[in-house]
Structure 1
């Protein structure tokens, strides 16, 4: 899949493969990655548990005004 926005991925636990459709990267706990906007990407677990945080930055204009108060 792919999105119009960037995101950062931090591997919390386990091991896996992250792919952009052309290359595969082996990742493990403690690694972090940057996925540019519109970059195809996918994930594959190589361990029983593969946990990661996906962080998507939000621009101020994307958040309703009342939530900034």
Structure 2
């Protein structure tokens, strides 16, 4: 989670973008992560960063093909 002083400034999205570029350079083709169903702010962040829901259980599994 990004410090609240830096939220909504693109800092977290830039970190994710850099991480994706790094993973691509190592040959990764997909990223998956879990999002707490009770955290709509986190879910919205990942949707904004082009992750899509894959499955819902006790958490939401999201993924991105890179």
Q: Which has the larger radius of gyration?
A: 1
TM-score interval for Structure 1 and Structure 2 normalised by the shorter chain = 0.3 to 0.5
Task: Tell me which protein shows more helix as a share of its residues.
Answer: 2
Q: TM-score, normalised by structure 1?
A: 0.32
